[in-house]
Structure 1
Amino acid sequence: MSDLPEITRGIRFEPGHPSFAGHFPGRPIVAGVLLLEQVALAWREWRGLRLRSIADAKFVAPLLPGEEAMLTLTEISEYRMRFTIVRAGTMLARGTVEGST
C-alpha cells in the first residue's frame, strides 16, 4: 500500500448495458472508454477535478458483462493520478491521467 492518498471503489456493468450490442456482438466486453469514464467520474467525485488528458493507459485483460472490478485512484500530485482496475487479483487496466478544475 502506498503512502499517497488513494481511493478504491467497485465498478460493474450490467449485461444489458447498450454498449455490449456493438462491443462485441456474441462476445461482449466492457469498452476501454467506459472504464476511463469510471476513472473520470471517481476523480471528479473525490477531488472535484475534471479529466483533462490521459498521459498513458494500458488495457491488459477484458472486463466482461456483470463482472465486478475494483478501481483505485492514487494521487501523484494535485492534477495527476494513477489508476488501476483489478478483477479478482488480475490487472485489467492501468495508467496515468491529468486533470483540471
Structure 2
Amino acid sequence: MPTLFAYVGAALAEIAGCFSFWAWLRLGKSPWWLVPGMASLALFAWLLTLVDSNAAGRAYAAYGGVYITASLGWLWAVEGLRPDRWDGIGATVCLVGAGIILLAPRTV
C-alpha cells in the first residue's frame, strides 16, 4: 500500500508542477506560478524514491501507468473535460502493464 500512495502522490505532484508551466506559458499566468510548480516537481521526484523496487528504471516504468490514469483524472477534475471510453480503455491497459512490471516475480 505505501507504493500505491507514493505513486498517486507523485502523479499529483508531477501533474501540478507541469501544469504550473502550462499555465504560465499557455494561459498567460504570472511567472510566480513556477515557484510552487518547482516545489511540486521536487516533491514528485522524492516520492518516487519511496517506491519499493530494486531498480529505479523499473519503478519509473511502472509509474507511467499511474501517471496516465492520474492525468485523465486531472483532465476531468481541473480542465472540465470528461475522459471518453477510449481514454478509459487506454488507462486500463497502462495500469495492467504497470502492475505486470511492478509485481512480476523476479529471480534477481
The verdict on a shared fold, with TM-score over 0.5 as the criterion, is no
TM-score norm. by structure 1 comes to 0.30
Q: 1 or 2 for the larger relative contact order (CA 8 Å, sep ≥6)?
A: 1
Q: TM (normalized to structure 2)?
A: 0.29
Higher share in strand: 1
